[in-house]
Structure 1
Amino acid sequence: MGCTIIGCGKQLPALDVPNEELTKLVDTTDEWISTRTGILSRRVCVTEGNVDMAEGAARQALGWADGGYSQCKVAPEDIDLVIYSTISPDEMVPTCAAVLRRRLGLVNAAAFDMNAACTGFIYGLTIAETMMAASAPGAPGAAGRNPIRRALVVGGERLTRVVDWADRNTCVLFGDGAGAAVVEWDERKPGILSWFIKNDDDHTNALTCPACFDAPQPFTPEGVDPNALQQADPSIALIDAELDTTERIAAGAPRQVLSMHGQKVFKFATSAMPAAIEEVLRRANLTIDDVQFIVPHQANLRIIKYAAKRMGLPLERFQVSIAHRGNSSSACIPMTLCDAYENGSIHPGDKVVLVGFGGGFTSGAVLYEA
């Protein structure tokens, strides 16, 4: 018995921005971007919000709209849980998950947001599987828990809001989008066979994005002071020091933007992706020869090619969807999974690995039987 994927969907914003358009903003070329990343264009939100895209993706996954992949139409009252992974929410309260729940009429669903950067969808699936297993009939203590039979797991990002469009090292990489999957606990099917999640310390702050809270605070270490409303929050300096962003922000860079040391992130990613795949297979007592298809995070085509070469696999065993999307963080894997179902790369009974890595540093993989 296991947690099975019964539907998935994706939604992209309308605006497509090819590499040539970015030459209006920074000193770069289409050739420079495409040869180093595999990216030809990316989608950018203008009028759409994070939850707008997630709603479209979820409707496909639930079988309510054309597109995507769905084994059946799921009634709104049959969803028990919504897990929404994002680093770029539309709002802090209510959560994106709560807004999505309301829009879709998921009256019985508990809903919450989470953040594990680009590995967020992997983390979300592991949370859903764990909660389903803990509340399944016959599980120890299941009688005292909410029964969770079906869950909606979402990865939604509007990363272009936190991109410094004057930084050519980062602005060429990221895009917006959302993906969603419906998972169901089915005693008749194996579903998720194993999962693996991990954190490594980002000792050198290779990938950061500080928050930016600008409401005036009338406090000093001595207490309430109305004049403090005109002063900078003193804790900001401590955060900047922790993240090594002091010099960059002092030079005039916006505070709440992604900052990345590309070579350090590349080194981490090329190690983390194969390691996560190998570990999730080891936990299931399987080998790479038992796997029919791999759906990786879409950060850089060179990273995917490196992992394929290291594992002795042809690139055709990997779903590659980066060319016209770029890196959309936690939305990458569910959108790419939807692509694989739509183009017929995943068949019933196939063993599939989903694998991701991201800021934090996070990494992880899920192995499941389709």
Structure 2
Amino acid sequence: MVDTSDEWIRQRTGISERRIAEDDVATSDLCIHAARWAIKNAHIDPLDIEMILVATVTPDRFFPSTACYVQKGIGAKNAAAMDISAACAGFLYGLDLADGLIRSGRYNTILVVGGEIFNKIVDWNDRNTCVLFGDGAGAAVVQATDESKGILASYIGSDGDYADVDLLGIPAGGSRMPKLDKIQMNGREVFKLGVRLMPEAAQRVLRQANVSVEDIDLLIPHQANLRIIEAVGDRLGMPREKVYINVDKYGNTSAATVIIALDEAIREGRAKPGDLLLLVTFGAGLTWGSTLLRL
């Protein structure tokens, strides 16, 4: 469809395959599937969930929220539900919010979901973007605990000076301009900002928790492309074997990348109980965030 090749894509991005949702599948469908797995693994009843936070920039509709569809799909009748729009940083925004709400004492159990179907907003004639993005979802149950594990430190940030869609975003489809609803991106500028902001965000939570890079067992960065991942690892001084990478299998699934990677790392035994994990991401807005957690 565009002037590119498999070799060019692999060399420039590290992506060799992706998942594309069927035409009749919506973001909430993927989120519901992920949420059910998280609920099963957490050994809880959906009725225990008090809040549902869905991070997505590809919602089923402008409104109602995708979170409300997820609530219906999993039968979490006792939960409040809302969406978070923070692009690729969305899941860590959700974790930060869940952490604060639980620490406040008002909530005990929160479901955080990151899900995207990017194939419906990609311009398949634009080789700068159409080779990058995939569809997927992941979910986590966040609960209060008296144990010395879970979220140890969290940080999120943004800079609206970079909200220009010429950098990364969809120029229209909302109230400002109702047409041109396909993603655009300045890859060179996004790369430079990403490799600066993610290490800065990571260092910030390390300082919060008084932890050094050497203490980290596994770094799970946003899976934007292989070059960004490698550059972030290098700037943090993380050896390659401690950096988790699965962008080759899924492409950039935006808000879902970090939670999909975390789930796979646990399943593969790369992340084990007691390990100290550093999650870091950035996205359009610009938005960014990092979370330090112990399994």
Is TM > 0.5 for Structure 1 vs Structure 2? yes
Bigger helix fraction = 2
Q: Is 1:103 aligned to residue 73 of structure 2?
A: yes
1:166-210 C-alpha deviation (Å, 9 max, x unpaired): 001110001111110111101233421111111122176311213
Q: Note the 1:158-169 alignment, pairs <5 A.
A: 158-169=117-128
Report whether the alignment pairs 1:185 with 2:135.
no
Q: Which residue identity is paired with 1:295? A: I
TM-score computed with the length of structure 1 as normaliser: 0.76
TM-score (norm 2): 0.95
Is 1:340 equivalent to 2:265 in the alignment?
yes
Letter in 1 for 2:168: L
The aligned residue for residue 10 of structure 2 is 34
The correspondence of residues 1-150 of structure 1 with structure 2, limited to 5 A, is 25-46=1-22, 47-63=24-40, 70=41, 72-135=42-105, 147-150=106-109
Counterpart for residue 282 of structure 1: 207
1 CA distance for matches of 2:294 and 2:25?
Answer: 34
User: Alpha carbon RMSD of aligned pairs, Å?
Assistant: 1.5
Alpha carbons of structure 1 residues 168 and 133: separation in structure 2 relative to 1, 3 Å: same
Distance in 1, matches of 2:191 and 2:35, equals 31
Q: What 5-or-longer segments of structure 2 have no aligned partner?
A: none
**Would you say the 8 A contact 2:122–2:129 is kept in 1?**
yes
How big is each residue's C-alpha offset from its partner over 1:296-351, in whole Å with a ceiling of 9 and x where there is no partner? 11001011111122222222111101112111110111111111111011111111
- The percent of aligned pairs where both chains have the same amino acid is 41
Asked if residue 195 in structure 1 is aligned to residue 171 in structure 2, the reply is: no
- Distance in 1 (CA, whole Å) between partners of 2:142 and 2:39 is 10
Contact persistence 2:197–2:282 (CA under 8 A): yes
Q: How many residues are aligned here?
A: 292
1:336 & 1:312 partners in 2: Cα distance?
20
Q: Give the corresponding residue for 1:359.
A: 284
Q: Distance in 1 between matches of 2:147 and 2:261?
A: 27
DSSP-derived class of the 1:151 partner? strand
Q: SS of 1:41's equivalent?
A: coil
Is 1:273 equivalent to 2:198 in the alignment?
yes
Match among 300, 311, 314 for residue 225 of structure 2:
300
Residue 260 in structure 1 maps to residue 230 in structure 2: no
Gap runs ≥5 in structure 1: 1-24, 64-69, 136-146, 214-232, 240-253
Quote how far apart the aligned CAs of 1:49 are. 1.3
User: Structure 2: how far apart are the matches of 1:54 and 1:279?
Assistant: 30
The residue aligned with 2:173 is 212
